[in-house]
Amino acid sequence: MRTKSKIAMFIIGIGLLIFHIDGPVAPADGQSTDTSKTLDAEVQKERDQIGLLAAFALVAETWQHQGQMANRRGHNIAALLIHDFDDTILEFGLNRNFEKNSAIEHAELRLLQKASRRLNKKEYRKLFLNYTLYSSLEPCPMCQGAMSIARIPRLVYGLDDPYFKAIKACYYQKSCPGQWCSSKVDHPLVHLIDRMYLNYKPHEKPGITYFLEQDSVRDKIFDAAKKELFNLKAKYPRNERLLKNAKDFFRNFSRSGN
């Protein structure tokens, strides 16, 4: 018995040594994971900042001015779906409420629909288990519910939505099946846009979607995010590929197909 115990302890010790040297291994395709636990906290923080800067930059890239009311696509809101391990940007989504004359054409919902068709796997419940969804604005209750059903493991967003407060009200990981989490990015541009909205005093059009039509918001937040993204250098080697993919995404960006 002592010999067996020694052998078992030796095997466990070797396993721990390998894990310590190589770090956590990316799970097999279809296996659930919480990347906030498998990545160092500071690495994950930088990763989330890159993802949100890309979502903000997408708003800048597709910005609609107040003068475009006659042929508007939708609100200035964007979302991205990024793989947690190979760092690919699978899909993007833009709000198209006005173009489609529909209240449900939200960026996150369109993103999930497009990504589902692209992945095209038989087991739809496992499509997104290794992805993080980045949204420029806190998702509404409809999109929060869709993400729950689609089993998006992780949500990261920028600006709070004080009207719906869907994420805070439902507290994402407790309202969904399985292990889920949500996070608001800690970044100077996020703090700035929150302050700008608190000071926003509209005369005729209240609400956050109208706030997101202001050219000052585009200049100080979304254009600034795009500039920062392209000037950014990853502090951690783990995030270099993600940053490169984000920059390449905008170099090759096309508005068609969304």
List residues with catalytic annotation. 108
Q: Give the integer Cα–Cα distance in Å for 118 and 134.
A: 18
Q: Give the integer Cα–Cα distance in Å for 75 and 163.
A: 16
Q: Give the integer Cα–Cα distance in Å for 110 and 91.
A: 10
Strands 154-159 and 78-83: unpaired
Q: Give the integer Cα–Cα distance in Å for 184 and 202.
A: 25
